[in-house]
Structure 1
Amino acid sequence: MESKADQLVKEADKSLKGFSLAKYFRGDRYESARDKFKQAATHYKACNNYTKAAKAYERAADMSRAYKDEVDETTDLEDAAMCYVKTNDKKTAAALYTLVLGQYEKNQMHIKAAKICVSLSEITEGTAPITWLEKAAVYYQMQGSRASADGLRQKVAETKARLGDYKGARELYEQLARDTLNDAVLRSAARKLFFMALLTQLATFTGESIMEDVTELRERFDEYQELDTQFDHLTREHMLVSAIIEAIQEESVEKMDAAIMDYDKICVLDELKEKMLTRAKHALIGRLHDLR
């Protein structure tokens, strides 16, 4: 199948070099060559040769540009970018996605622009993913897609937490929860968002100030319960936060471990939640060490 793809590329190149008729037929020539490059790319993908597929899509984009069709060119560049992602060439993929985004923005195709921003968030590093996710959320908001926008804002909060910006993550989780309370359809999600806000606050605890920290956590916990009546003593989230507050106030690492284990038996902790709870535990251990 790869040999078939190679042959299609050769045929496309030959048609471009060998064409000698009037200039009025150049558009047809480029369109025909584009079709062959796209067919070749499809065959390359079937063989898992994404490097050749990406280059074939780029050649197709060149053809689209030659006959001045921005829609086709944008489609070809996006296909090429996706193939480069498959080869782990994130730098080239990001460059192509940025070109595609520019076209979608120019044509006010906000949903497509949002999806490209999400793709960019998945292949960039550092704080760049946050920027792209925030931008995508704005595009969805502009189109009235609140659920999609909020989902991306949650990803922003999670990314902030993973990068260690616990304060920024807490503020965003809390804002999302408050906003959700005003929506009858989404209201049920508020509890878990408030819970994440509390976990990110726990992650900021230090041995030196843990007793002041837990008092502030208690106050915020009480406030969240007043705001969301579903965040009550019957929920696993409430049980865990209550038990952790009690363990810290009693300066008991054992009780804190037991509370976390009880929660994990029913609601398996993911890596991020476990990391934040571990930070709080280390703060408590640090407090006890300083008292000795």
Structure 2
Amino acid sequence: MTDPNEKKALQKIEEGDRKLKKNTGFLSSILGGGGSGVSDAIECYISAANSYKAAKSWNSAGDTFVRVAELHEKHSDSKFDAGSHFHEAGVCFRKVDFIKATECYQKAADIYVDMGKFTMAAKAYVAMAEVCESALSGNIDGERNVANVLPKEQCKEMCLNAYLKAADYYKGEEQKSSASKCLVKVGLIAAELEQYQRAMHIFEEIAIYEAENSMLKYAARGHFFQALLCALCYDSLEAERALKRYKEIAPIFADSDECKLITKLMDAVRTSDPDGFAQAIEEHDKRARFDIWHTSILLKIKRSCGDGGEVRGEDGDAEEDDDLR
């Protein structure tokens, strides 16, 4: 049985089509009138899109919002309305179609950038990145069967780039806190893609900003630690130089548990001492478990000590290096 909201949506679509056809007729094109006809058609299409949303017909709702946005682009002076309706289309498509959702958020961002609405552009890029994250995590509820999802690595690259663009626009608007939140995501994803040097510099940038802010200085300890873990993944000498630099510029890090732990880990790497590495991790585990991201990085570093074994994550499960056990 057809949802009554879908029936209402179809009626509004037909009504909008009639108004639009009347507006673009021969006499209208000669006389140059009929602007109100487009406006009336747009109102009908918006009503139809909302009815589709009520019926959870997400593809139809998204397509209709795209139609509204394109009409605003072609016939209206309101770029803002075009951008907001592309964004609304993205909200609908993210439930059913990865490609359409990301394309709509990109169009919204482009319009906002052209208007100088950089904060809104940043929000559109964050929304795009969140679509990628949902696809990567499989965080899709029962009613959502998202189509056209990109391969995992390509999806991660898109996610990283979207968060990076969002961070850049937030920085330009002096919204440093929002920019830092996006940069944390960039650092995490860059490390997952084994772009360790890039991740190291991202976490360093975040940590230095936090260390200089009295309200955020305690958060700097964790991000300095992440920067050093990433450095250990590609150059232990670079990690040692960075540790010395961080201790000089941020006394709060020099006196922290994170600094003591990373120093022990560096010593273990330098002397190829897997037992010392494991002991340092075990001592830390008595206070707090590492999350999945830290566990993955630590496993990679531990392999450079010449041994495998396991590092326990915050869920208590062990991740094992089967090749080196």
On whether the aligned pair clears a TM of 0.5, the verdict is yes
Secondary structure of 2:253's counterpart equals coil
Secondary structure of 1:188's counterpart equals coil
Please tell me whether residue 269 in structure 1 is matched to residue 290 in structure 2.
Answer: yes
Please tell me whether residue 93 in structure 1 is matched to residue 101 in structure 2.
Answer: yes
Q: TM-score, normalised by structure 1?
A: 0.81
2:226 to 164, 184, 196: 196
- 1:81 corresponds to: 90
- 2:57 corresponds to: 49
1:150 to 158, 180, 188: 180
Query: Contact (CA 8 Å) 2:274, 2:307: kept in 1 or not?
Result: no
1:196 to partner: Cα distance: 0.8
Which structure dedicates a bigger proportion of its chain to helix? 1
Aligned residues: 277
Query: Contact (CA 8 Å) 2:268, 2:305: kept in 1 or not?
Result: no
Please tell me whether residue 163 in structure 1 is matched to residue 193 in structure 2.
Answer: yes
Cα separation, 2, equivalents of 1:15 and 1:222: 70
1:262 to partner: Cα distance: 3.8
Query: Contact (CA 8 Å) 1:30, 1:66: kept in 2 or not?
Result: no
Cα separation, 2, equivalents of 1:156 and 1:272: 13
Query: Contact (CA 8 Å) 1:12, 1:33: kept in 2 or not?
Result: yes
Query: Contact (CA 8 Å) 1:232, 1:238: kept in 2 or not?
Result: yes
- How far does the alpha carbon of each residue in 1:146-165 deviate from its partner, in whole angstroms, 9 at most, with x for none? 22222222322222111101
Mark the CA change 1:220 to 1:64 in structure 2 (over 3 Å): closer, same or farther.
closer
Percent of matched pairs sharing the same residue: 25
Cα separation, 1, equivalents of 2:70 and 2:40: 12
- 2:34 corresponds to: 26
Cα separation, 2, equivalents of 1:191 and 1:84: 39
RMSD: 2.9
Secondary structure of 2:171's counterpart equals helix
2:243 to 202, 221, 229: 221
Secondary structure of 2:289's counterpart equals coil
Query: Contact (CA 8 Å) 2:231, 2:238: kept in 1 or not?
Result: no
- How far does the alpha carbon of each residue in 1:48-72 deviate from its partner, in whole angstroms, 9 at most, with x for none? 2210110111222244345423332
Query: Contact (CA 8 Å) 1:174, 1:194: kept in 2 or not?
Result: yes
1:76 to partner: Cα distance: 1.6
Please tell me whether residue 241 in structure 1 is matched to residue 262 in structure 2.
Answer: yes
Mark the CA change 1:141 to 1:77 in structure 2 (over 3 Å): closer, same or farther.
same
Q: TM-score, normalised by structure 2?
A: 0.73
Mark the CA change 1:221 to 1:74 in structure 2 (over 3 Å): closer, same or farther.
closer
Cα separation, 1, equivalents of 2:84 and 2:296: 41
Query: Contact (CA 8 Å) 2:129, 2:159: kept in 1 or not?
Result: yes
Instruction: Give the partner amino acid of 1:243.
Output: K
Mark the CA change 1:15 to 1:216 in structure 2 (over 3 Å): closer, same or farther.
closer
Cα separation, 1, equivalents of 2:215 and 2:59: 45
Cα separation, 1, equivalents of 2:55 and 2:290: 39
Mark the CA change 1:2 to 1:268 in structure 2 (over 3 Å): closer, same or farther.
farther
5+ residue gaps, structure 1: 206-212, 288-292
Query: Contact (CA 8 Å) 1:204, 1:280: kept in 2 or not?
Result: no
- 1:210 corresponds to: none
1:204 to partner: Cα distance: 2.6
- 1:209 corresponds to: none
Secondary structure of 2:177's counterpart equals helix
Query: Contact (CA 8 Å) 1:50, 1:87: kept in 2 or not?
Result: yes
